[in-house]
Structure 1
Amino acid sequence: MQQNKLGIWLLTALVVGNMVGSGIFMLPRTLAEAANPAGVVLAWLLTGAGVLMTALVFGSLAIRKPELNGGPQIYAKELFPRGSNTSTLSGFMSSWGYWIGNFAGNVAIITTFTSYLSTFFPVLTSKQSLFMIGSLDLKLGNFLTFIVCTLLLWGMHFIILRGIEDAGKLNFVATAAKVLGFFLFIVISLFAFEKSNIGPFTAPRYDETGQAIGLLSQVNNAAVTTLWAFVGIESAIVFASRARKQSDVKRATILGLFIALAIYISISILVMGLLPQEKLIQSEKPLVDAIETILGPSGAYILAGLGLISLLGSTLGWVLLSAEVPYQAAKQGLFMPAFLKENKKGMPKFSLIVSNVLAQIFIFSTISNSMSAAFDFVIYIATLAYLVPYLISSLFQLKLTITGETYELSNKGRVTDGIIAALATIYSIWVIIAGTADLKTFMLGVGLLASGIFFYPQVKRASQEETNTKKLSA
Structure 2
Amino acid sequence: MGTTDAPAPPSTPAKLTLPTLTAMVVGSMVGAGVFSLPRRFSEVTGVAGALIAWAIAGVGMLMLAFVFQNLAVRRPDLDAGVYAYAKAGFGQYLGFFSAIGYWASACVGNVTYWVLIMSTIGAIAPALGEGDTALAIVCSTAGLWAFFFLVRRGIKEAAAINRIVTVAKVIPILVFIVLALFFLKPHVFAENFHGADYAGSLFHQVRGTMLATVFVFLGVEGASVYSRHARRRKDVGRATVLGFVSVFCVFASVTVVSYGIMPMSEIAKLRQPSMAGVLEEAVGTWGRVFVSVGLIVSVLGAYLAWTLMAAEVLFVAAEDDDMPRFLRRANAADVPVPALLMTTLLSQVVLIVTAFSEDAFDFALDLTGALSLIPFLLAAGYAVMVALGRGGAGPSPGAGRELVVSILATVYTAFLIYAAGLKYLLVSLIIYAPSTVLFAMARREQGRRLFSPGELVVLAVSAAGAVVGVVALALGWISI
Misfit runs of 4+, over 6 Å: none
Distance 2:195 2:253 in 1: 21
Deviations along 1:347-375, whole A, 9 cap, x unmatched? 010011111111001111343457xx111
The equivalent of 2:457 in structure 1 is none
Query: 1:24-423 alignment to 2 at 5 Å?
Result: 24-80=34-90, 87-125=91-129, 142-198=133-189, 199-206=191-198, 213-284=200-271, 285-369=273-357, 373-403=359-389, 408=394, 411-423=396-408
**Count of residues paired in the alignment:** 437
CA contact (8 A) 2:155 2:335 kept: yes
Residues 401 and 276 (structure 1 numbering): CA distance in 2 closer, same or farther, change over 3 Å? same
Q: Which is bigger in relative contact order (C-alpha 8 A, separation at least 6)?
A: 1
The correspondence for 1:13, drawn from 4, 23, 45, is 23
Native 8 Å contact 1:97 1:385 kept in 2: yes
Alignment check: 8 A CA contact 1:106 1:315 kept: yes
How far 1:464 sits from its partner (Å)?
4.9
**1:290–1:200 Cα change, 3 Å:** closer
The letter of the residue matching 1:390 is F
In structure 1, stretches of 5+ residues that fail to align are 81-86, 127-139, 207-211, 467-474
- Once the two structures are TM-superposed, the CA of residue 400 in structure 1 deviates from its matched residue by 1.3
Q: Quick one: which amino acid aligns to residue 151 of structure 1? A: A
What amino acid does structure 2 have at the position aligned with 1:326? L
- Aligned to 1:274, the other structure's residue is in SS state coil
TM-score, length-normalised on structure 1?
A: 0.87
CA–CA distance in structure 2, aligned partners of residues 401 and 298 of structure 1: 52
Change (3 A) 1:187 1:400: same
8 Å Cα contact 1:205/1:213 also seen in 2: yes
Q: Distance in 1 between matches of 2:319 and 2:206?
A: 40
Shift of 1:287: 1.2
Give CA deviations for 1:91-115 in whole Å, capped at 9, x if unaligned: 1122112111110111012211222
> Tell me, which stretches of 5 or more residues in structure 2 are unaligned?
9-13, 450-480
Residue in 1 that maps onto 2:443? 460
Q: Report what 2:455 is aligned to.
A: none
Deviations 1:23-71 (A, max 9, x none): 1011221111122221122111101100000010001111111221113
- Residue 339 of structure 1 contacts residue 351 of structure 1 at CA under 8 Å; is this kept in 2? yes
Distance 1:203 1:302 in 2: 29
Q: Distance in 2 between matches of 1:176 and 1:323?
A: 24
State the distance in 1 between where 2:45 and 2:265 align: 13
Comparing 157-166 with 67-76, which one deviates more in the overlay?
67-76
The one-letter code matched in structure 2 to 1:442 is L
* Alpha-carbon distance in 2 for matches of 1:221, 1:191: 29
**Residues 358 and 151 of structure 1: is their aligned pair in 2 closer, same or farther, counting only changes over 3 Å?**
same
Alpha-carbon separation, structure 2, partners of 1:440 and 1:420: 29
Q: Is the 8 A contact 1:97 1:388 kept in 2?
A: yes
Judged with a 3 Å threshold, the aligned counterparts in structure 2 of structure 1 residues 72 and 46 are, in CA distance, closer, same or farther, namely: same
For 1:325 and 1:268, the matched residues in 2 are separated by 32
CA distance in 2, matches of 1:40, 1:463: 51
When residues 400 and 463 of structure 1 are mapped into structure 2, their CA distance, relative to the original with a 3 A threshold, is farther
Task: State the match for 1:442 in structure 2.
Answer: 425
**Percent identical across equivalent pairs?**
30
Structure 1 residue 307 displacement after superposition: 1.5
What do the CA deviations read for 1:130-166 (whole angstroms, capped 9, x no partner)? Answer: xxxxxxxxxx971221122112211111110111111
Shift of 1:75: 1.4
Counterpart-to-counterpart distance in 1, 2:314 and 2:281? 44
Whether the aligned pair in 2 keeps the contact of 1:142 and 1:366 (CA below 8 Å) is no
RMSD: 2.1
Asked if structure 2 preserves the Cα contact closer than 8 Å seen for 1:119 and 1:301, the reply is no
Cα distance, 1:141–1:33 mapped onto 2, change above 3 Å: closer
Output the amino acid matched with 1:266. S
Q: TM-score scaled by structure 2?
A: 0.86
- C-alpha deviation, 1:276, in angstroms: 2.4
SS of 1:115's partner is helix
* CA distances 1:173-198 after superposition (whole Å, capped 9, x unpaired): 11101111112111121110123334
Q: Is the 8 A contact 1:36 1:205 kept in 2?
A: no
Cα separation, 1, equivalents of 2:195 and 2:291: 30
- Structure 1 residue matching 2:335: 3-state secondary structure: coil
Moved more, 307-316 or 44-53: 307-316
Distance 2:377 2:125 in 1: 42
